[in-house]
Amino acid sequence: MIKDIFQQNENVHSNDKQLAVLREHFPACFKKDGSFDIELFKEAIVDKTNVVQEGYELKFLGKGYAKLLASTDTTTVVQPNEAHNSLQENVNSENIYISGDNLDGLKHLLKSYHRSVKCIYIDPPYNTGSDGFVYQDNFNYTKEILQEKLSVSEDEAQRILDITKRGSASHSAWLMFTYSRLLLAKDLLTDNGVVFISIDDNEQANLKLLCDDVFGEENFLGQIIHNKLNSKNDTINIQKNHDYVTCYQRKVNYNSASQITPSLESKASVTKEVFKEGDHFYIINDSITTRGDGGTLNNRRNLGYTVYYNPTTKDFVGVQDYDLELAKISNDEDEVYSDNVELLNKGYTKIRPPKVRGQLGAWTWELKNFNDCKDEILIKQNKNGYSVKKRTFIPSETISMEDNRYFTTYEYIKNVRSIAEFSTNEGTTQLSETLGVDGVFNNPKNINLIQYLIGLADCKHSIVLDFFSGSASTAHGVMQINAKDGGNRKFISVQLPEVLSADNTSQKVAYEFLQENSLPKTLDYIGIERIKRAAAKIEEEYPGKQLDLGFKHYVLVEPNQNTLDRLESFDKAGLLADTTVLNDFGKPTILTTWLNADGYGLTVQAEAIDLNGYIAYFINKHLYLIDAGFRLENMKALIQRYDTEGNFNPENLVLFGYSFPDWSINEMIEKNLRILNDSEKNLKINFSVRY
């Protein structure tokens, strides 16, 4: 377990994650010895454009270090809050609250929630100089190790260490801190998942470049200006009454349903006239001609052709009949296009795209698509000749009749606007009303803003993640929007359990609030208490409504030095189990960490099964043996279950190594598993020992 991870991390380098992606998609670019051949890679991706040496990228001190942090696995374990999780309102909840460093939290989440999160909202430190941001981590890298792993100079390695060990609030420190976390967060998103990041002027420009690097510039959805509706008295500089929400999607062109759409409040309805053709009904859409400066034949060279239409037979066809080279230099239609005399002699008339600001226009449909989908085309005569429009067929059950005319009414989505108005003062009021005291948390986000953003992501039955949870505004917003629209969204919140002090003026109110409510004096418990109180209020406002208003709570724990020493000194060749290691972690922690690592998530429970007095833990494809004392009689009971219970077929048998040092026990297990694998059931059981 932890010891295995330490050994793995020793061999991790900053570009391992990127090389793994390249190895998956470009295996031919790796040599026999495993090294990456950049020249082969250039050949693999080259197109008609020559590969040039110049490039454009964001560079900052510590970028390689941030990649290294994202590539190494976490050595923390996931400790469940058993007393909390067993409460009636929480035992079946699928909401999750994690107390711990969000870098570790993201690494744990990736093991079970990879490509599973539809919406991420974060409100990270703004690096204003007064928000308390200082980069710090506890990774004990030496200057020599960083030089080797990052391929940097001695001076650069020392500067990185200065940031990480002495603390820094520089732009490089903020970028290093944020970059490692976004690299991990990206892989949690579904292909059409969306990330929203609140930020202000201090790092907004840097964040845009950082996100271009992580998500790809092509996946930038836009920047929402958040008008905070509060006045800041600043007689010297420009009053800053807004901040920003930077929006990216994992893959913008993933599918037609992947674009962000506004929340329910942004929908409207429209009534349109319906026309009938035989037994079919349709509405008429806009012309299939482009508009604006980009909609010219010179810019859309594959979208120029002539539609030949016969007014008598109603037949029509698209014909490619223009000279591309002439179109580049001429706007004379007679010069660029050539008439199809044969069709004209048969009574057809020619229809060409109208000009755009004096330049030859273009269609919005490619020629093949036009000729393949002629049923969707409607040609109508008007005062200027003929127009070519698209029509959409609709089901008859959506149609009403009035004065012998047909109509249909349907909902449509209003455009997402780049300016959103949500008062920050209201966010403070919301928290105060929920907790019953003012001043517990500075500048909490307005939950109406968060609900608006959640609505944009169209994630009514998906996971919403906030790994800078703060006062838990996102969790509150998720529960409230579910109550409003009947959604079944699940929240995952991650918050560092920063220790609060009554001597710190900015923390005094929060400290006293936690003390009065007999809660631990750490920042995460502000969020935990808010969720509980918000849930109680929502339940009161929506009586009888089936809502998930509970949550599972987990704490990320780093093994102490005594435990690490025992892990290091443990003798695999010995005969005695080390129960102190098991006691240090605790069986629930080991089981929770393993279940998540094996992809089962943080809200499931393994079934305890009795193997003739020995308790093992079973879920789907895994059977876990954690306690010492597994003997032959227990193995026989296990074999009997495989033989007699049809839905008991775990493919993986996992042992807690510190409980199984005796090689004879492991040999006995392996021998009997070989017998099972050779039986009529033709099982393929994998056997592994974790440390």
* Tens-digit pLDDT profile for residues 539-584: 999 998 999 999 999 999 999 888 888 888 887 766 677 788 999 9
State the residue range of the domain holding 541: 76-134+169-262+419-555
Alpha carbon distance 296, 303 (integer Å):
9
In this predicted model, what pLDDT tens digit does every residue of 445-463 receive, in sequence order?
A: 999 999 999 988 877 899 9
pLDDT band at 123 (very low <50, low <70, confident <90, very high): very high
Q: Residue 417: CA atoms inside 13 Å, Cβ hemisphere, count?
A: 9
In this predicted model, what pLDDT tens digit does every residue of 212-227 receive, in sequence order?
A: 999 988 889 999 999 9
Alpha carbon distance 318, 368 (integer Å):
8
Choosing from 391, 413, 435, the residue where a domain stops is 413
DSSP state at residue 30: B
Decide if 577 is inside a domain: yes
Q: For residue 31, what pLDDT is reported? A: 63
How many structural domains compose the chain?
4
pLDDT, averaged across the chain: 88
Distance from CA of residue 303 to its chain's centroid? 36
Alpha carbon distance 389, 286 (integer Å):
6
- Tell me, yes or no, whether 407 and 423 share the same domain: no
Q: Does residue 242 contact residue 212 with C-beta atoms inside 8 Å?
A: no
In this predicted model, what pLDDT tens digit does every residue of 313-363 receive, in sequence order?
A: 999 999 998 887 887 788 888 888 999 999 999 999 999 988 887 788 888
HEC per residue, 524-546: HHHHHHHHHHHHHHHHHHCCCCC
Decide if 31 is inside a domain: yes
Decide if 679 is inside a domain: yes
Alpha carbon distance 603, 598 (integer Å):
13
Helix (H, G, I), strand (E, B) or coil at 387: strand
pLDDT of 234 > 80? The answer is: no
The first and second tokens of residue 380, run together, are 């109508």
In this predicted model, what pLDDT tens digit does every residue of 365-416 receive, in sequence order?
A: 888 889 998 888 999 888 878 989 988 888 888 888 888 888 888 665 555 7
In this predicted model, what pLDDT tens digit does every residue of 18-55 receive, in sequence order?
A: 777 777 667 657 765 667 777 667 765 655 434 444 45
H-type helices in 267-394, by residue range?
324-329, 333-336, 341-345, 367-372
Beta bridge partners of 608: 617
- Tell me, yes or no, whether 551 and 533 share the same domain: yes
Q: For residue 463, what pLDDT is reported? A: 97
Decide if 147 is inside a domain: no
Decide if 65 is inside a domain: no
Q: What is the pTM of this model?
A: 0.75
Choosing from 514, 534, 555, the residue where a domain stops is 555
Decide if 372 is inside a domain: yes
DSSP state at residue 396: G
Q: For residue 532, what pLDDT is reported? A: 98
Q: For residue 436, what pLDDT is reported? A: 95
In this predicted model, what pLDDT tens digit does every residue of 83-119 receive, in sequence order?
A: 999 999 999 999 999 999 999 999 999 999 999 999 9
- Tell me, yes or no, whether 651 and 620 share the same domain: yes
pLDDT band at 270 (very low <50, low <70, confident <90, very high): confident
- Tell me, yes or no, whether 529 and 461 share the same domain: yes
